[in-house]
Structure 1
Amino acid sequence: MAYPRTNRIGEEIKKLVSHLIRNELKDPRISNLTSVVEVDVTRDLRYANIYISVYGTKEEQENTIDGLTKAAGFVRKEIGKNLKLRYTPEPIFKMDTSIEKGLYISRLINKVNEKTPEEVKDDTVK
């Protein structure tokens, strides 16, 4: 069940972390094509799961997550400065692969749509 307060805090953290990635973090491992997709804050406000999407190779994605994980202390300090909360959530960066999965499904659908009905019937029999 989603709680309105944690949703609001998650949205504020999302805006703040997006700003930090674009303007403050200077780590060369962090890709320029990085975006914050979603932030889930635990109900007790101790942890913030920050889902990141990186447009690039698998290596760039791993490097970006490594760079963000190393900068987690700085990110937490900035969250604490900008949001007045009793507890500052610990940021946990995770790769969001929903965009890649969506593109994969889209390609599969396009492939099926290109086949004739006989080809589709042959594939389902196998």
Structure 2
Amino acid sequence: MVSNTRLQKIEDRIFEELSTILLMEVSDPRLGDVSITKVRVDRELAFANIYVSSLAGSESADEIIAGLQHASGFLRSELARRMQLRYTPRLRFYWDPSPEHADRIDRLIASLHQEETNLEPEEDEDPLDE
């Protein structure tokens, strides 16, 4: 088992290295616009849960996860080469809907703001005059 500080450092390093590998070394077109959003490693360093999203949206989530699982052996071996850990965790990939939810909330707030500005009375009108 590792300390919380070391675990956080390992998660951060996996995040950085996998992001670089996906950007520079993976040629699978399914993974062209994939972003890693979060990495969580268990205390025994046996598994790394990698959360991803894409500009393509959740419509292509299954295809993206399949592409990542197909490339997981390569990704893990590259991580092992770059990180020099005694044991490199097995990679498990999950779709992260958070960016899509955040975008939806932003759009809702923008539409509410737009409605609010449309409902404001004209400057020369007195709202109390009826």
| Cα distance in 2 for residues equivalent to 1:104 and 1:58 | 13
Tell me the amino acid that sits aligned with residue 87 of structure 1: Y
Which sits farther off after the overlay, 55-64 or 65-74?
55-64
Matched, 1:110 2:110: yes
Structure number with larger C-alpha Rg: 2
Equivalent residue for 1:13? 14
Shift of 1:37: 1.4
Superposed CA RMSD in Å reads 2.0
Equivalent residue for 2:100? 100
Which sits farther off after the overlay, 7-16 or 103-112?
103-112
Tell me the amino acid that sits aligned with residue 49 of structure 2: N
| Cα distance in 1 for residues equivalent to 2:22 and 2:84 | 21
| Cα distance in 2 for residues equivalent to 1:98 and 1:23 | 25
Equivalent residue for 2:75? 75
Q: What is the 5 A alignment of 1:1-126?
A: 3-30=4-31, 32-113=32-113, 114=115
Which sits farther off after the overlay, 68-77 or 54-63?
54-63
TM-score, normalization: structure 1?
Answer: 0.79
| Cα distance in 1 for residues equivalent to 2:27 and 2:72 | 13
TM-score, normalization: structure 2?
Answer: 0.77
Shift of 1:112: 3.7
Which sits farther off after the overlay, 2-11 or 107-116?
107-116
Shift of 1:29: 2.1
| Cα distance in 2 for residues equivalent to 1:99 and 1:53 | 7
Shift of 1:28: 2.4
The 3-state SS of whatever aligns with 1:71 is helix
Matched positions, count: 115
Q: Which runs of 5+ in 1 are unaligned?
A: 117-126
| Cα distance in 1 for residues equivalent to 2:14 and 2:57 | 26
% identical aligned pairs: 36
Shift of 1:57: 4.0
Pair 49,66 (structure 1): closer, same or farther in 2 beyond 3 Å: same
